[in-house]
């Protein structure tokens, strides 16, 4: 059951698509106090949700602030990441479970037992917001009800479930060719190469750098023949440059965000000075979305939207302020207080709240200062592309995912989990974030495997891949200045080949589970508590997941070990994927067991009585024979499996014939 409460005059976000009648507020499990809501936490109560955030699946013990932020060095004390996902779940997961969604594009703080270890407090920055309170029996009930409210999740093309290689940046067409050649010659499967900012002419959206990608159209064609999709990046800011048609059109038609005087607001991002298209404005959004066609017409069928929190390196105003202040410091005898003032000043040039409060949108016929609608920018940028694709090629799926997001955007595209680091702790975070994102509607997602920032290591990349072969988005990506991390650069290449190969054997199951999660509003990645809710030990496990309901995974997220302790909430059988061969391992009884999992193997734990369909694999998704499956199972009674399979290209998701029963 969903109750909807409206406070003040909320700004519409289009997050909720279902008609729900408004109710008036009465304190019950939540006590209202100003713009805050308090809830008493029971000792062992778990708090789930909040999508893209640091820390555990159980969000207790920290304060999270929904405020889309570009923070590439995020650590445990980070309060805001790239997304704003205001959905949270409490209760026992068995008899009384609650979900709460705060629908407002402004800042929301979730204090989950931080200030007071026994209390959850949710506070809104201003008095205009909607609250949806869902009551259900189990966690899964509440998730399903919430997901029905917010509408069907974006569905990616099947090829986008292949392995992708990325780097900031492959700077020339030949470099792209070389990477593909290195993979192909070693028979390591791959389906896509990502193009970071340098494919553009001086970082101008929808342009091609013709010095380094002279034959871009041919490259796209040539790659397509090899079953490689090129996936270019699109940034949230448009370069301010006379004669650049996108800029000129935006300027002429008034499509850019304005400053307080009605002038185009100018900020610095990759290309230097830029303007932000007013993604919230219907007309501007339609115009910007249509631009993607420039690349689609060159054969491109996938995009990633970046810098759309939106990230601001600097504003002209701020820069001037800094220079003026530096002038002052120069003349002073710099003591330590003034010194830190100075370094702080420089440290807060980028993404400054003052700048976010200095420009304006025209949204649904009204003028809004950006900070009031901040969390919608990435969402509406991605929506602009998705709506254009729908106009242009309504029957074809196009890959689309974003860095920034808000709930509602899940209908238009996936997300990657932001600019992470080559840290073992970020591998762990990747594991824990999957179910949190699923709860919020984000199904097509994954992290930058191996880590984006900082130097990776061979073992970290291998272990990360061993987990990531289960995530819909499977992309190895790294930043400029860090160690190169294409898998063929390391010592034990066959191990990488073995792990990535397993993805292509597992894909029928992974894709089927993804599609069912999207079509039925269920979880693709389940915390153990979602299936074994009455098992107190299972409820505390955060480094194991059920992929769908048939298999459990227990990723090795620690350095220098050859296995780990796994909690088996029931009898399960180990399947070891190694060098294309699937070895049926031990059967483990309920309880804790140490399981050997050497690097270079992918380990699956099959539930007793459940099926796992496995294909022969392939060098790309196109190669995989989705109907030539081997079925693994053990136990006496085997539950039949609803297998979803379609062409992976068109949008006729709902045809009944896509489901067939395996047994």
d(CA 437, CA 87): 10
Q: Smallest distance, Å, CB 230 to its own copies?
A: 24
- Any contact of residue 348 with its own copies (CB under 8 A)? no
Choices 23-31, 369-377, 450-458, 545-553 (CB under 8 A): range interacting with its own copies: 450-458
Structure tokens at 532: 């074994």
Q: Which of 266, 279, 280, 422 binds its own copies (CB under 8 A)?
A: 422
Q: x/- contact string, 308-337, with its own copies (CB under 8 A)?
A: -----xx----x---x--x--xx--xxxx-
Q: Smallest distance, Å, CB 24 to its own copies?
A: 33
Q: Smallest distance, Å, CB 349 to its own copies?
A: 7
Choices 91-99, 544-552, 572-580, 590-598 (CB under 8 A): range interacting with its own copies: 590-598
Could you say which residues in the range 143-172 bind its own copies, by CB under 8 A?
A: none
Q: How far is CA 329 from the centre of its chain?
A: 42
Could you say which residues in the range 423-442 bind its own copies, by CB under 8 A?
A: 423-425
Largest Cα–Cα distance of the chain, in whole Å? 84
Nearer to its own copies, 406 or 464 (CB): 464
- Any contact of residue 56 with its own copies (CB under 8 A)? yes
Q: Which of 53, 58, 308, 476 binds its own copies (CB under 8 A)?
A: 58
d(CA 415, CA 444): 7
The residue assigned the tokens 């397509």 is 224
Q: Smallest distance, Å, CB 659 to its own copies?
A: 38
Q: Give the ranges where 123-172 is alpha helix by DSSP (H).
A: 139-150
Q: Binding-site residue total for its own copies (CB under 8 A)?
A: 71
d(CA 600, CA 615): 19
Choices 169-177, 362-370, 454-462, 603-611 (CB under 8 A): range interacting with its own copies: 454-462
Cα atoms in the Cβ-side hemisphere of radius 13 Å centred on 179? 26
Is residue 301 within 8 Å of residue 398, measured between CB atoms? yes
The residue assigned the tokens 């409206």 is 6
- Any contact of residue 40 with its own copies (CB under 8 A)? no
Nearer to its own copies, 340 or 652 (CB): 340
Residue 409 DSSP one-character state:
G
Could you say which residues in the range 566-585 bind its own copies, by CB under 8 A?
A: 567
- Helix, strand, coil % in the chain, rounded to nearest 5: 30, 25, 45
Nearer to its own copies, 425 or 650 (CB): 425
Q: Give the ranges where 332-483 is alpha helix by DSSP (H).
A: 336-347, 353-356, 370-373, 377-392, 424-439, 458-468
d(CA 431, CA 463): 12
Neighbours of 321 (CB within 10 A): 16
Query: CA nearest 305: which of 359, 386, 245, 368?
Result: 386
- At residue 87, φ and ψ (nearest 5 deg) are -110, 130
Q: How far is CA 213 from CA 170, 253, 270, 283, 404, in A?
A: 10, 31, 19, 32, 28
Could you say which residues in the range 485-514 bind its own copies, by CB under 8 A?
A: 490-492
- Any contact of residue 276 with its own copies (CB under 8 A)? no
Could you say which residues in the range 72-131 bind its own copies, by CB under 8 A?
A: 73, 75-77, 113-114, 116-118
Nearer to its own copies, 422 or 465 (CB): 422
- Any contact of residue 607 with its own copies (CB under 8 A)? no
Nearer to its own copies, 77 or 225 (CB): 77
Could you say which residues in the range 544-563 bind its own copies, by CB under 8 A?
A: 558-563
- Any contact of residue 452 with its own copies (CB under 8 A)? no
d(CA 497, CA 600): 8
Which helix (H) or strand (E) is 180 found in, with range? helix 173-185
Q: Which of 4, 55, 383, 578 binds its own copies (CB under 8 A)?
A: 55
Nearer to its own copies, 15 or 269 (CB): 269
Q: Which of 3, 32, 38, 60 binds its own copies (CB under 8 A)?
A: 60
Choices 5-13, 30-38, 68-76, 613-621 (CB under 8 A): range interacting with its own copies: 68-76
- Any contact of residue 214 with its own copies (CB under 8 A)? no
Burial of 226 (0-12, 13-18, 19+ CB in 10 A): middle
């Amino acid at each position: 059951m969903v109750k909807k409460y409206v406070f003040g005059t909320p700004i519409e976000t289009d997050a909720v698509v279902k008609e729900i009648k408004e109710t008036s507020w009465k304190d019950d499990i939540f006590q209202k106090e100003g713009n805050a809501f308090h809830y008493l936490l029971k000792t062992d109560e778990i708090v789930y949700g909040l999508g893209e955030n640091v820390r555990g699946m159980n969000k207790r013990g920290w304060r999270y602030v929904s405020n889309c932020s570009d923070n590439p060095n995020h650590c445990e004390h980070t309060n805001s990441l790239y997304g704003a996902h205001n959905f949270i779940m409490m209760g026992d997961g068995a008899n009384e479970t609650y979900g709460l969604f705060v629908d407002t594009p402004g800042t929301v703080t979730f204090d989950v037992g931080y200030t007071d270890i026994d209390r959850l407090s949710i506070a809104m920055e201003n008095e205009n917001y909607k609250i949806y309170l869902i009551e259900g029996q189990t966690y899964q009930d509440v998730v399903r009800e919430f997901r029905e409210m917010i509408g069907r999740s974006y569905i990616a093309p099947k090829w986008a479930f292949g392995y992708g290689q990325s780097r900031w940046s492959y700077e020339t067409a030949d470099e792209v060719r070389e990477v593909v050649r290195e993979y192909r010659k070693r028979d390591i499967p791959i389906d896509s190469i990502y193009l970071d900012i340098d494919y553009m002419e001086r970082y101008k959206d929808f342009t091609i750098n013709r010095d380094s990608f002279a034959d871009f159209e041919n490259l796209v064609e040539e790659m397509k023949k090899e079953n490689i999709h090129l996936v270019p990046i699109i940034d949230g800011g448009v370069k301010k440059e006379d004669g650049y048609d996108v800029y000129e059109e935006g300027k002429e038609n008034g499509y850019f965000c304005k400053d307080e005087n009605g002038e185009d607001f100018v900020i610095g991002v990759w290309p230097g000075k830029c303007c932000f298209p007013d993604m919230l404005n219907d007309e501007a959004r339609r115009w910007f979305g249509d631009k993607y066609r420039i690349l689609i017409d060159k054969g491109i069928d996938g995009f990633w939207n970046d810098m759309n929190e939106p990230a601001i390196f600097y504003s002209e105003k701020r820069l001037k302020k800094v220079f003026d202040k530096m002038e002052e410091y120069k003349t002073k005898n710099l003591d330590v207080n003034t010194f830190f003032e100075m370094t702080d000043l420089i440290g807060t040039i980028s993404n400054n709240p003052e700048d976010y409060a200095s420009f304006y949108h025209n949204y649904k016929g009204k003028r809004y200062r950006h900070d009031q609608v901040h969390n919608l920018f990435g969402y509406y940028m991605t929506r602009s592309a998705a709506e254009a694709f729908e106009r242009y090629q309504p029957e074809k799926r196009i890959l689309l995912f974003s860095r920034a997001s808000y709930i509602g955007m899940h209908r238009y595209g996936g997300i990657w989990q932001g600019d992470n680091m080559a840290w073992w702790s970020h591998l762990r975070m990747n594991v824990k974030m999957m179910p949190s994102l699923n709860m919020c509607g984000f199904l097509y997602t994954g992290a930058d495997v191996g880590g984006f920032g900082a130097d990776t290591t061979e073992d970290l990349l291998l272990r990360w891949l061993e987990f990531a072969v289960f995530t819909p988005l499977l992309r190895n990506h790294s930043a400029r200045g860090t160690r190169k991390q294409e898998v063929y650069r390391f010592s034990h290449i066959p191990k990488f080949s073995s792990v990535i190969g397993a993805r292509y054997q597992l894909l029928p199951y992974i894709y089927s589970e993804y599609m069912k999660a999207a079509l039925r509003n269920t979880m693709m990645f389940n915390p153990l508590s979602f299936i074994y809710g009455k098992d107190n030990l299972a409820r505390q496990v955060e480094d194991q997941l059920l992929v769908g309901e048939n298999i459990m995974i227990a990723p090795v997220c620690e350095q220098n070990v050859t296995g780990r302790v796994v909690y088996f909430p029931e009898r399960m059988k180990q399947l070891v994927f190694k060098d294309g061969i699937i070895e049926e391992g031990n059967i483990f009884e309920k309880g804790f067991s140490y399981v050997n999992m050497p690097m270079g193997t992918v380990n699956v734990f099959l539930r007793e009585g459940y099926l796992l369909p496995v294909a022969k694999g392939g060098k790309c998704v196109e190669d995989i024979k989705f109907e030539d499956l081997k079925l693994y199972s053990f136990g006496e009674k085997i539950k039949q499996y609803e297998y979803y399979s379609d062409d992976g290209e068109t949008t006729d998701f709902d045809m009944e014939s896509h489901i067939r029963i395996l047994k």
